[in-house]
Chains A and B, each alone.
Chain A
Amino acid sequence: MAKAAESSGEPGTTSPRPLFAGLSDISISQDIPVEGEITIPMRSHIREFDSSTLNESVQNTIMRDLKAVGKKFMHVLYPRKSNTLLRDWDLWGPLILCVTLALMLQRSSVDSEKDGGPQFAEVFVIVWFGAVTITLNSKLLGGNISFFQSLCVLGYCILPLTVAMLVCRLVLLAEQGPINFMVRLFVVIVMFTWSIVASTAFLADSQPPNRKALAIYPVFLFYFVISWMILTFTPQ
């Protein structure tokens, strides 16, 4: 290769020039074609791996994702100290829960001929920006949890509050009165506590032990605001 470089350089000059030094360096870059040939088969090899999941049917993909989401729902409903939510995090579950919650909180405005759009967007924004703020806070306090893992946990722990929302909607179909309100209050308080316990079980381990309270307090505020929105929801 060096010979080829020398021959392609200045023909007929044998005196040493700085150009030779440059040429010899360029001769190293003459490995480029060889590199290229070596890397190209590698690329196609990787592409073959990708196509193994690309080629499966859509139903398989959806069922696989739904099963993963369902498994994580079970982990939230029965919170144990486990790593499942943290290890394979995904944001499908939080998205489904957030959209469901926002849709259910929106219905009242549609009934009263107001534009229900902003309310959906507000709930969406509150949930996601609240989760982002809590994540940033826990990272800044010294937690060793990644950004998306924390978003995943906080999103999944909205599940009890979504269940509370469903129950409240059903209860509101009955006759309204103080008993109605008491029942809904009780349900929302229980689910609020469940959300906090579930998120604490997953998040507390990632914080330094003496700062757990500092990291949990904003989670408390976040779920408090969501619970308050659910409790004071009245279909007109």
Chain B
Amino acid sequence: MPTGMNRGGSRSTNSLPPDPVEIIRSKACSRRVKLNVGGLAHEVLWRTLDRLPRTRLGKLRDCNTHEALMESCDDYNLEENEYFFDRHPGAFTSILNFYRTGKLHMMEEMCALSFSQELDYWGIDEIYLESCCQARYHQKKEQMNEELKREAETMRDREGEEFDNTFCAVKRKKLWDLLEKPGSSVAAKILAIISILFIVLSTIALSLNTLPDLQDTDEFGQVTDNPQLAHVEAVCIAWFTMEYLLRFLSSPNKWKFFKGPLNVIDLLAILPYYVTIFLTESNKSVLQFQNVRRVVQIFRIMRILRILKLARHSTGLQSLGFTLRRSYNELGLLILFLAMGIMIFSSLVFFAEKDEDDTKFKSIPASFWWATITMTTVGYGDIYPKTLLGKIVGGLCCIAGVLVIALPIPIIVNNFSEFYKEQKRQEKAIKRREALERAKRNGSIVSMNMKDTFARSMELMDIVVEKNGENLDKSEKLRDNSLSPSKWKWGKRTASETSSNKSFETKYQEQSSPENVRNTNASPQHLNVQKLEEMYSKMAKTQSQPNINVDQMDQTFKVKKQNQMEMEQISVPSDPLLSTPDGIVDMRSLSSIDSFISCATEFPDPAKFTHSPAASVLNKAPVNPALERIQDQAPPALPPNNAPGRQVPPALDSNYYKNFLGISSINAGFLGGAGDKRGPSLSEIPEGPSRQGNPIKSRPLKVNFMEGDVQNTQAAALSAIVHPSAIVSKRITGPLDGPLHRERHLASIEASITCSTSGTKSPEDILPDVFTFHDDGVKKYIDADSDEDEQPPDGRNTPAGSLSLRYPHITNSDHPGQKEGIYRRDGNHLEEYLAASSAKHFGQNCLYNVESATRRTKRGGNQEGNKLDNHISPEIHVTSGESGCSTAYDDKI
């Protein structure tokens, strides 16, 4: 980590964005610029970047305002003339070389997919890739796409088996599993084995039937089947028929089932028997006629098709079939080669041999046979050349045959082995996914592993979506792939996939514009993981200076208490919960918060999976409804905002999500940091959520971080507290979003818990705070660390008090909730959680804020300090207002 970034970090504490003039000046003073990409510093001339003005780096030069700069890069430091991008450093080397030399090459060890993502991020079209590298790139990409598509197809097949719209759905599903999925249960396995045995038995019977010793003669003197074998045959056919019918009946999609190649084989294995019976029964009188007999014979031969039924039970046979289907090009080539060879050598040998007496090479077609047998080196010896010329031709024919047959075979073999390997891998992947799902349900998996699978499944879903709307997407894709300068304007157009997160952000910013207006003086600060990590490492180093902190805390708690009292007084009259219109408004605002939180807390989870560009598309899907809800409910929440007397609900509102968004973003950041994932994925995490609630929410965070810089121990506490609260917030989303999301959250809870425990070596005066919270919110997850609860310092009172406040509040607020309907109660439920977490949390937050404020002001008439103070003070009101609000509820109800 370069030292320059430390100061860059301190820049973010100067809540004021630098003046455009300053930016321009800093840009003008040097010909070079430092680009820090994922920790790797590069130095480059401005004019080099100017060569591609429409790309991200090219635009960096034209960015003269803070906002524009922040849109282009993740962080910057004007004094050092350094710009930070939180991307993969390896890929950037090749990309920067593109600026320098105008030629885009790709590092050999780079994954094609990840490289394409990087290209998207930097706004460079993949078409610029040089010819020497593009083959590798496209091959990989196509291969990956194909694989994903195939996997998606199997997924869809599996998901397509819906039984809900018909009768006996459950039973049919069971039957279907029993017959079609031998791996699903023991009974199914036994059934499959019985089926295989029947196939083998019937084929053996079929061949035994032709033994002259076992055959009987019928009334016309013709040979017929042995009666015992006929019985065996009948039983086998009965079994096959039953199997087929049961399958057909239980299949979710009849037509698809009918079309399936394996089922066609099944049908072909059964049909000849019935056709034979039909023919013999209906034509008993004319059976002696040769024609009917011949037809019957043909159908009898068709019975041999049942051996193909084994394909259902063997992956190898299936992949053989698939290989032949896929490499029909090469097969055609093989046949063409052979045909040409046969033609040439048979005509040559014909001309060589035709003057011999009693030659067998009577014509060219007659010598085809010889050429075939020779070229395939079978050599029966029924025809062979006798003249010298003929023998020379024969010798050449042998060698040519060996060559010609050997040539295309490796390609087919390659296809086969590739496909076979893939199939094996796929089987394993499916098993792994199932295991993962199971583990997810049990909640026994750390989210680190889940990331991959989720990314994968999301990609798959994306492809499914893509397939569904194929026509539309294709055209779009074409546009995307072709050189489209418009794509470079990713900032606004958000055409590239990776920036879809961003589109979401900007959308959100529009929606939350009222808040924006209210807090115009607050700058949108950017929290980045690097800083977090720095902080984290620092606090790990210096863990032991609680003395000063305690003092300061005492002080600050007093201040806070005072504030709280004040706010209580204010909020009691201003928040008449029981008066219906206002109450509704209030509730609504709360529920809107809930939905907001649900979206916010949900966001880091998918954001973690944004490795793949595809995932981001899906990302949007769950988030959008929640957003819409906010949009719907934001207006009712806003009116009181304008009224001077009713500042509490909106304040609450902003307060809540300020808190939660920030927390969740930190949480995400920490999760990423803990997992040592410094790749491109990480950059998305803090960016997404933290920009969502942009101006308001980042403020408390910022303050906290500054605090963390100064007093590491408290930062440790913060990080520790952050995780449980994130857990709570995630749990809140549970009831809202249904079991599906909860699963996901549970898993990430695990991860965050591990994080928090790793960070709990912080001083004891803060720890208890954390763990009392644990007790309330996440009882399950308490670890051995909770022993440390024993020594509560002075400051303990306040949070404890607010905690105790929580309980009546919960019970009381439930009452009106019941009256007002389910929806509202839902809101209340959530609210109680919110109150729990935020009260706790704000105890902490507030503490830092006030403390920092006082410290800053003490430090002298520093302007920045003053400003900071200004920023913070409303927040303090807000927090205490929140707890006051809860007391208000208490009183009223």
Are A and B interaction partners?
no
